[in-house]
Chain A
Amino acid sequence: MAVYRKEVSRAGSVFDRPIRLAVFSGVIPSTTFIEQMIKVVARDGIEVLLFGTLHEPTRYPNPRVKIFSNRPGLAGMAQGLGRILWLLMARYSHYRKLKQHLGKGPFSDSASFSKWQKVVPVVLHLPDVFHVQWAKAAGDWIFLRDLFGVKMVLSLRGAHINYSPLANSALARQYREVFPKYDAFHAVSKAIAREAERYGAAAEKISVIYSGLPEPANLPERSSRTGVIRLLAVGRIHWKKGYHVLLDALASLMAEGNQFRLTLIARGEMTEELAYQIHQLGLSPLVHHIPGLSHREVLEQMRQHDLLVLPSLEEGIANVALEAMSVGLPVVSTDCGGMGEVIEDGQNGWLVPVRDAAGLKRAIERASTLPAEQLDAVRKEAHKTIQLRFSDRLAMAGFSELYRKVIECA
């Protein structure tokens, strides 16, 4: 349901206008799940303003999504200069507040100019709600609330909450200082919400909104199994994805004479660590790395495999697992982050403890030796889970409710 805000026209009449939401993730376009969120909320009638650096030419079919990007290089300097002059002439009071906050004028030095360049577009198009997508940027934007009364929402996702502040005490301190000032939080899972509470995010301000997929099609028939277990893993090459644990599990599978092969769809070059592990464990002929595929091609690969394995050490909720479940590919996942909120072991997939290669190996064996009828029941249950709890319809309602609560608290 769309969220509106009461506004008084120049003639004095009160009318409802859709709320204006700013989304900041640093770059445009952003990651898959943030892009998905933008589409979902715009469809719900919210006007979405995107701020950040334009990474590649981007267009949104929905006219409610508007881009106010910063260009790089000389063009960016000219653009910044124009915006600063516009602010100076059209919103002088804002200009003064900003100058007071930043401590220096825009033309004092190049570092000051860069800071102004980043924040001026937002001050020129002040939104009702400013939604920061990554916690590390939380401190950069809180001035919008202090100076201009903008409502602030922060998304709690992945590494920024789960491990960066563990290794960086200054960041943890900053979180503790800034989080209590935020009006609301969007958590991608209950697990990450609990983590964020350690840094002062009040439980009553946190809304858990799961990623949503479009209404899945009917469960497709699957090709019959071959003698070889066809395993699929999808995700960028990073230690937190736990591929080293999966490779250890595969080594014990191989030692017991199991027939399998693994397709690893992972953007980027194989790291020295993984390449060495594959070599050392004698897995080279069994592991095929594909350095990136389109979304459509990944879905096609899902149809050609028997099992999706998610060996991650840390996740919010992995979208790839949701997608696999929606197309009928059974999932074996570690119980990391919010994955336990998606998968119920043995019912709609298989869940194993994190960092447990032996457990992962056993789960792969269990899943791949399950009688066809029982496997079909797991697939159906997984499909139903996505339909009932991870649809974009639910996500849309969740965000609308979150923004409504924030606006109503004015």
Chain B
Amino acid sequence: MRIALVLASVPGYSETFFRSKIDFLSGMPGWKVMVLADRKATTPLLPEGIELHYGLGAWSGVTFLKKLIQYVWAAGPIKIVRLLAANRASGLGWRMNVSSLYRSIHLLSVRCDWLHFGFGTMAIGREHVAAVIGARMAVSFRGFDICIYPVKHPGCYRLTWTCTDRVHVISDDLRQAVLANGCPSSDQIIKITPAIDTHVFQPVRMPEGEPHPWRMLTLARLHWKKGLEYTLEALAEVQRAGISFTYTVVGEGEEYERLMFAVHQLGLSDRVIFAGKLPPEAVRELLRSTDLYLQYSIQEGFCNAVLEAQAMGCLCVVSDAEGLAENVLHGMTGWVVPRRQAARLADQIVAVCNSAQAARAEMVQRAAKRISGEFSLDRQRHEFVSFYQ
């Protein structure tokens, strides 16, 4: 089985989903995985022996010309003409057609059984490539690509649905979103949730007594869709309710200034720390000492960080954004609060902080047990094998 995975760039450390998938599938006897990345990564984290091809956008100057000639030569005129003709027949204008060829040229010489686009948006304009190279086509939808992107680009997946053999989603909500965006059949959609290495993320024994202060944590890019401004607004309420806490946000991003201003305006300067990007071991260390993990996203595919937090014995309060309500079961393994409602989030946090310690300990145990049973890497691996078979 030869699988070509099309990604924007080679997965970095935080993209555990792709890395574990590539690790496992490439280790299966008789299976071969290739990574086709549009952009170069400074520190590609790939196992040895994985074939890696970059798109033309990754090159410049003389190397660009050399790669262009190399890719055109490897693809051959027949595939190029077939791709242009198929695009044309789908109504693609001349300019878009050339753009499609530019973005697809490094895919045309690949020999594989499956051409799998890692995100829905990666497939747009390249829908016919799989057919031209004689492969089957799979597309993964992971959140932004199916929930947010189509809002500004209605109908962007019309052609994708007709060309795709299998659609992978990471939660039930995303399955619904795929159907709502025009995918004609539920049969071709397969849900495989993210998973974590439960040997690495082990539960920590809950300390005796009440946390003082409560140590709260979020691991997230500083991006509007992570709902951090709502979280801070809720924490201002929590502060007014007399709960003592510190809140750490691990991650970098474009909204830093906006969030710093919110912290200042909400009077939280003494309580909130933006820790920036941290290495994996430091993140695990922080999770070990966290009492309450918050993920109040506006939009979220599933969220590995919440799985990790539960596995390590943190209490979790999350929003009901897409896969989060599946990741955490309200009242069973944590608490789910409707998104965009800071006051309700605040009420929930205060209720958790004031709840009995025994009840909290039970919640943590149930969550850790569920994660190790339902979100293990082994389980995910078997699901992927059957996805391609």
> Which residues in A have some Cβ–Cβ distance to B below 8 Å?
162-164, 166-168, 239-240, 244, 248, 251, 270, 272-273, 275-277, 279-281, 313-314, 354-355, 358
Contacts and interface: CB of A to CB of B under 8 A. Distances in A.
Given A167-B256, A355-B233, A358-B343, A276 B261 contact: no
Nearest to A281: B340
Contacts of A355: 233, 262, 265-266
A276 B144 CA distance: 10
Contacts of B257: 163-164, 166-168
8 contacts: A164-B257, A239-B255, A240-B261, A270-B152, A276-B298, A280-B298, A355-B266, A358-B343
B151 interface: yes
B265 A313 contact: yes
Contacts of B229: 244
B286 interface: no
Contacts of A354: 265
Nearest to A355: B233
Contact of A276 (B258, B266, B299, B343): B299
B163 interface: no
Nearest to B233: A355
| Across the A-B interface, the 9 shortest Cβ-Cβ residue pairs | A163-B261, A167-B257, A167-B260, A273-B224, A279-B151, A166-B260, A239-B258, A276-B148, A166-B264
Nearest to B223: A273
Contacts, number: 54
A272 B261 contact: no
Contacts of B256: 167
Contacts of A239: 224, 255, 258
Contacts of B233: 355
Nearest to A336: B265
Given A163-B257, A277-B298, A355-B266, 7 more contacts: A164-B257, A166-B264, A167-B257, A270-B152, A272-B148, A354-B265, A358-B343
Contact of B261 (A166, A273, A275): A166
A379 B151 CA distance: 39
Contacts of B262: 313, 355
Contacts of B152: 270, 272, 275
B296 to A, nearest CB: 14
B233 to A, nearest CB: 6
A248 B340 contact: yes
State the majority secondary structure of interface residues on A.
helix
Contacts of B258: 163, 239-240
A355 B225 CA distance: 17
A351 B266 CA distance: 18
A244 B225 CA distance: 12
Nearest to B269: A166
Nearest to B339: A280
Interface string B283-323: 00000000000000011000000000000000000000000
A240 B257 CA distance: 10
- Of A167, A168, A270, A279, most buried by chain B (CB within 10 Å of CB) is A167
A166 B260 CA distance: 7
A154 to B, nearest CB: 21
A275 B265 contact: no
Nearest to B274: A167
Nearest to A279: B151
Interface in B250-273: 255-258, 260-262, 264-266
B156 to A, nearest CB: 14
Contacts of A358: 343
Contacts of A314: 261, 265
A273 B299 CA distance: 10
Contacts of A275: 151-152
Contacts of A277: 298, 340
Interface in B221-237: 224-225, 229, 233
Contacts of B340: 248, 251, 277, 281
B231 to A, nearest CB: 12
Contacts of A167: 256-257, 260-261
B44 to A, nearest CB: 28
A270 B299 CA distance: 18
A266 to B, nearest CB: 16
Contacts of B298: 276-277, 280
Contacts of B299: 276
Nearest to A252: B341
A163 B264 contact: yes
A276 B149 CA distance: 9
A363 to B, nearest CB: 17
Contacts of B255: 239
A250 to B, nearest CB: 12
A314 B260 CA distance: 13
Contacts of B265: 313-314, 354-355
A333 to B, nearest CB: 16
A278 to B, nearest CB: 8
A164 B233 CA distance: 20
A147 B196 CA distance: 64
A273 B223 CA distance: 10
Contacts of B148: 272, 276
Interface string B132-146: 000000000000000
A163 B260 contact: yes
B151 A276 contact: yes
Nearest to B260: A167
B224 A162 contact: no
A364 B285 CA distance: 48
B254 to A, nearest CB: 10
A276 B298 CA distance: 10
A92 B290 CA distance: 66
A46 B233 CA distance: 47
A286 to B, nearest CB: 16
A354 B233 CA distance: 11
A168 B264 CA distance: 13
